[in-house]
Amino acid sequence: MKECCKSTCELIKKYDPKPKNDDGSIKWFLYRWDDGKSGYRSLVRCRECGSFFLVQCYKLNKFSDKADILYEDWYAVDNEAQADLLNGKYTGVQLEHKLKEVYRTNK
């Protein structure tokens, strides 16, 4: 990931955090512990170099007195079609095992 990508990305699309089956029923939540409220995926593109990234955001719930942590993982993809394919095929945990993030932030 180039330095320009960390500050000059534009949103291309947001994906539904609750992908649907053909009949309209919920296929899965992004994460097992997520009810679709805090997790999301989006596709962004760097305005300077044109690189595409599938961004996956999720909240890890701490079961102690520490605050919940919101993570954002960035995965390099070749194009919008590849991002669409990955989004429709993998849950959050499966995507983490399939690809290695190129950038991670936490809030």
pLDDT tens for the chain, 107 residues long, are: 899 998 899 999 999 877 888 898 888 877 766 666 677 899 999 999 999 999 998 776 655 566 667 788 999 999 999 999 999 899 888 898 999 999 988 76
Number of structural domains (the chain) is 1
Cα 97 from Cα 85, distance rounded (Å) = 16
Six-digit token string for 74: 């960035």
Cα 71 from Cα 45, distance rounded (Å) = 19
For residue 70, CA distances in Å to 12, 39, 65 come to: 21, 9, 16
Domain assignment of residue 86, given as a range: 3-106
What is the torsional sign of CA 32, 38, 42, 45? Answer: negative
Which pLDDT score, from 0 to 100, does residue 55 have?
A: 94
Which pLDDT score, from 0 to 100, does residue 86 have?
A: 94
Cα 45 from Cα 80, distance rounded (Å) = 9
Which pLDDT score, from 0 to 100, does residue 49 have?
A: 96
